[in-house]
Structure formats: structure tokens, C-alpha cells
Structure 1
Amino acid sequence: MKDYAFGVDIGGTTIKLGLFETKGNLLEKWEISTITTNNGKQIMPDIALAIENKLKERNIFASEIEGIGIGVPGPVLDDSIVNKCVNLGWGIVDVAEDLRRLTGIEKIKVGNDANVAALGEMWKGAGIGHKNVVMVTLGTGVGGGIVLNGQIVSGCHGAAGEIGHIKLNEHEEEKCGCGKKGHLEQYASATGIVRKSQELLRDTNRNSVLRDIHHLTAKEIFDSARKQDELALEVVEFACHQLGLAMAHIADVIDPEIFVIGGGVSKAGEILLEGVKKYYTEAVFHTCEHTEIALARCGNDAGMYGAVKMIL
């Protein structure tokens, strides 16, 4: 195996890049802006240029690079082809072939960003020692990644791990971002948690410190719940219930060794973790009751680590 590899995590605002030794050490990480204008046509050339510049800076030859792993916010087929990615302006794009042509580096693998982050957590984070990992990412939306027997599960359409779109409520009237209704993302994402709080503040006269907050965020709701604000506690309990229930559904099908919860909302810590564990245990099939549930450890680096792990 060659000495070095690159891990790339493409987001809607920034692209995170990491130069790794192939024995697993992260040597350096940096970011560039994601330019999504003109249907994202500048993204791959920008990544190629960033890699070329880093090789020159480090006096490393392309022949010393084992490969480049890439995580993208969309479904991926055959470790190569992105099957539409709205956040980047892409339709169907053969990312691996494009970057191969631009860099001259032959070994390039592409995966969905949440799946890749799950692989990163399995390798270097909360999932160390496990080969069957489900990661749930709680941010603006709810994402997910599945690793079974040490391998990313992508599915035949590249959509495996779309945990946020598990339907939980037949009676929901508001639409999810995907256009359908009653999905986990509407209840356990940062957006969903704020929405639930706003509904209770609007529809009731209950006292709550949340009424005094001009720009409400999920963090403030969790902080208020820790201080025993009753309305905030109800919102947190509701979100934990929905997430625990969805995870129980997943466990009944996949039976992972561990669930890893990441994303911005996961920074709420123990109040989130304990709530989810309670409702998960109530709902899941008895043989899965003791599945480990942990908070992610790699933070924003999980995608880079997972991208490199695909190559290694």
C-alpha cells in the first residue's frame, strides 16, 4: 500500500479535506468553499486543485497516493455515481470518474456522507470494536448511515440509511422537506424540535422561558429542559420518543451492535441520550433491548475518516 490518502467530505457550504497516512493518522485537515452556482460544476475542479496544491506544499508525488475517498450529501451508486444531489446542484454525476480525470489518481471511491460518517465512527470514534453500526445524524434534518460486517450498506438505489424519512405519524398535516408527511425528520431534527416548541407556545398559554427567546434554537430548548422548564421538557420528551421509536424499528430489521448519534443536536448530551434509550427500550423487540446507544466522538471529522476508510 502507498503512503498517503485523501479524505473529502463535501457539504453544502464547505468541503472538508484531510491528508492521511495510510496507517490511519490524520496529518492535516483544511476546508474550501463549496461553490454550488452553475449546477455545482466548479466543485470537482476545486477539489482537484486543493489536492494538487497540498501535494506541492508537502512535496508529495501523486504516485505516493493510495486513493481519494469522498462523502457527498446524496445517494451514491457503485461507489462512484451520485444520483442527484439538490444541495450541490447536481443531477446524475460520475464523481469518481470526474476526479480521476482531474487528478490522475486511479483509486477513488464515493459514498453518501452519512454512511461515510458511520464508517468513520466505526473506525475511529464511538463504534470502535464494532462491525455493525447504525449512525443517526441530527442536524437541520435527520440523516443516517448503516455499516454491516464492516461494509457500508448503500442499497440498490443508493438510498439505504435514509432514517429521517421513516414515517411515524399518519395524521401529520405539515410536509417534510422531501414532500411527504409524518417523517422522523419533522420531529427529531433541530428544525423539528423548534417547530414543536413554536406550536406549543402558539396553541397554549403555558408559562415558559422559551417565550422570552426571540430566535429559538434546539440548543436553547434543551438548555431550558435541563432547568426543568415544563414546556421545553415536553418538547425534548417528544423528540426522544420519536427518535427512540424509529431506532427500535431499525433495530428490529438490522439488529446492529451499536447506534451512534451525531450531528449538532447530539451536543445536548445525556438528556438526549437517556431519553432516547428509554423509549427505544420500551419499543424494541426484546432481544435488541441492550443494544448500545452512544454519542458520536469524531465530530465534524467523521466524514473525512470514513472517506479514507473506504479507500483503505
Structure 2
Amino acid sequence: MKIGVDLGGTKIKAGVETNGSIIRQNTIFLQQKDSLSATLTQLINLIKPLTDYPATSIGIGVPSVVDVERGIVYNVANIPSWEKVALRDILEEEFNLPVFVNNDVNCFTLGEHRFGVAKNYSSVVGMTIGTGLGSGLIIDNQLYVGHNCGAGEIGLLPYRDHNLEYYACSNFFDAIHGTTALEASQAALNGNKKAINMWSEFGVHIGCAIKAAMYVFDPEAIVLGGSISKAYPLFKAGMLETLNDFAYPQSLKRLKLLQSQDDDISMLGAAALVSQDLKVKV
């Protein structure tokens, strides 16, 4: 048994993994995010009941750049007090278990590769579409994080007058159209033509992000996850139309575009960080 933790900017989920399933989990919403001690206490109190199980290790995914070797996280998204936190040392001292720390989207991608819809593919790009556009990489069946745990950040590539993330996440609805993804999806489902066109336009931007991933990594599969990916039917047509001009048509035909199906996949991926046969490239 292993404990997997998915730490977000507003919510933390932690669960006990065994045989590729989460058998128990706890969730909290972060409070006092400007206090390092308060947020660490919340995290520790969330994990503590799970150690009643015979867990052998803890893996945790964090929305930040991570020093994977030392388990230090930097400038965690939406938690201002987490500028530099020696998270591995803190949790190992608290629980007396080995702790592995990595980026949250890397954990999502690893979870999909080990347990989810991408488990039959050796090269995978995981893309989470939500408040941002995050990406993780599996190359030759191994999680690849790069020298500074920054590999695969497709969303930060220059695009139009900003970058891909600016147009391919919730910001597209908030900043450009003055609405939310939820409101836009409800309107589109009710037949609102303006909202339908909005989602088609959003699909164009997602399609450009996918093309960037294909040109750079040429993966077997791309997995879409995150809250906005649940609206896939609304942006699918615009996305596929944009992919039609990809320079290598045969590569496009062979690509598997997948949707995440498991809300616990990031916890599973975090738990998988501790597997003995996982050699993380750094």
C-alpha cells in the first residue's frame, strides 16, 4: 500500500493506493493559504489518518517546479506562503516514511500511463486543461521531468500575442469572453449559438497545443484531463478541424487522442512515484 497526495491551489486529496485503486481517500479545502505553518498542518492532518493502513511510502504531486532529488517545491501556484518548502524532509520527519515529490501534472500523466487510459502506450503526453494548461511526459515508459522538472510545459510556448496557456485554459473564457467555462458550457448545451461558437474557437487553441506536442514529442498518445476537458464534446470539432493541417498526416492518423476517465488518477500517479522500478530521469 502507498499513499498518494494531489495538492492543488485550493484543495488537497490524499488516498491509499493498492493494486491500482484508491481504497480510502480524504479531501480538504485549504485555509489560511498565506500561512506556511497552517497549510502544512492541514496537509499533515489530512495524511495522518491514512497512515493507519500499512502504507510503505508517500508520493505527492504539487503545482510547482520541484527539485525532485531533494524534494523541495518552489512558488507553488495559488499558495503564496509556499515559496520554497523542503516538503520531502518535513513529511519524512513527520511520518517516518519515504516521501517522493513531483509536479502535479507529471503525476497525472504517470497515473494515466500506469493505471489509466494510456497504460498501453510507451510515449505519452498528458495535458490538463483547467485554470492553466499543464503537460507531462512519458518517454520510453518512463516519466521524463527534465533537468529542472520543467519539461513539457507546452502551455508556455509563445502563441499569438501571449502563449498557448492564455488561450487554452479557463482564462480564455474569463479574460477574453467575460464568462466562465461552466457558464459557457451550460449555455452551449442549451443551444446558445454564441456559446457554441466560443467552444469551437476554444477547440482551435487546444488543437494548436496538441500540434505543438506532436511536433516536439511525436507521442503515441495524448491524454486530456482537468476540469475543462470534461467539456470535450463541445470543443472536439474545432480541435479536430485545426489538426487537419498537421504536416505529417500519417502521424496524425496513428495518434491516439484520449480522455481521462478517473478522477483519482493524479493520486494514483503520485503513489506510483515511489515504485521501485520507476527510474525518473532528471
Identify which of 35, 48, 55 aligns with 1:52.
Answer: 48
Identify which of 59, 67, 70 aligns with 2:57.
Answer: 67
Residue ranges of structure 2 left out of the alignment (5+ in a row): 276-282
- Shift in Å, 1:296: 1.1
- Percentage of identical aligned residues: 27
What's the TM-score, normalizing by structure 2? 0.87
Question: Separation in 1 of the partners of 2:32 and 2:219?
Answer: 36
- Shift in Å, 1:188: 1.9
Q: Deviations over 1:179-226 (max 9, x none)?
A: xxx11222121221343334xxxxxxxxxxxxxxxxx32233244445
Contact 2:15 2:50 in 1 (8 A): no
Please state if 1:185 is matched with 2:165: yes
1:251 corresponds in structure 2 to: 214
- Shift in Å, 1:283: 2.8
Question: Separation in 2 of the partners of 1:296 and 1:109?
Answer: 24
1:8 corresponds in structure 2 to: 5
1:98 corresponds in structure 2 to: 90
Please state if 1:76 is matched with 2:58: no
1:74 corresponds to which letter in structure 2?
Answer: S
Q: Secondary structure at the match of 2:101?
A: strand
- Shift in Å, 1:86: 4.1
1:217 corresponds in structure 2 to: 180
Question: Separation in 1 of the partners of 2:42 and 2:194?
Answer: 47
Q: Deviations over 1:26-56 (max 9, x none)?
A: 2101113324545423333433333333334
1:264 corresponds in structure 2 to: 227
Identify which of 39, 42, 57 aligns with 1:43.
Answer: 39
Q: Secondary structure at the match of 2:244?
A: helix
Q: Deviations over 1:55-99 (max 9, x none)?
A: 34xxx4xxx422100000101122512132142221222211111
Question: Separation in 2 of the partners of 1:311 and 1:86?
Answer: 24
2:112 corresponds in structure 1 to: 121
Contact 1:258 1:293 in 2 (8 A): yes
- Shift in Å, 1:140: 2.0
1:179 corresponds in structure 2 to: none
Q: Deviations over 1:265-310 (max 9, x none)?
A: 11113232333222123235334212111211112x1210110111
Please state if 1:108 is matched with 2:105: no
CA RMSD of aligned residues (A): 2.2
CA spacing shift, 1:164–1:231, aligned 2, 3 Å = same
1:163 corresponds in structure 2 to: 154
Question: Separation in 2 of the partners of 1:97 and 1:284?
Answer: 47
Contact 1:77 1:154 in 2 (8 A): no
Question: Separation in 2 of the partners of 1:86 and 1:36?
Answer: 15
1:283 corresponds to which letter in structure 2?
Answer: F
2:58 corresponds to which letter in structure 1?
Answer: I
1:26 corresponds in structure 2 to: 22
Identify which of 265, 275, 279 aligns with 1:302.
Answer: 265
CA spacing shift, 1:240–1:99, aligned 2, 3 Å = same
1:166 corresponds to which letter in structure 2?
Answer: L
1:191 corresponds to which letter in structure 2?
Answer: N
What's the TM-score, normalizing by structure 1? 0.79
Q: Secondary structure at the match of 1:102?
A: helix
Q: Secondary structure at the match of 2:24?
A: strand
CA spacing shift, 1:158–1:244, aligned 2, 3 Å = same
Which one has the bigger helix percentage?
1
Question: Separation in 1 of the partners of 2:124 and 2:143?
Answer: 9
1:116 corresponds to which letter in structure 2?
Answer: C
Q: Deviations over 1:113-152 (max 9, x none)?
A: 1111111122222212122211111112222222222322
Q: Secondary structure at the match of 1:70?
A: strand
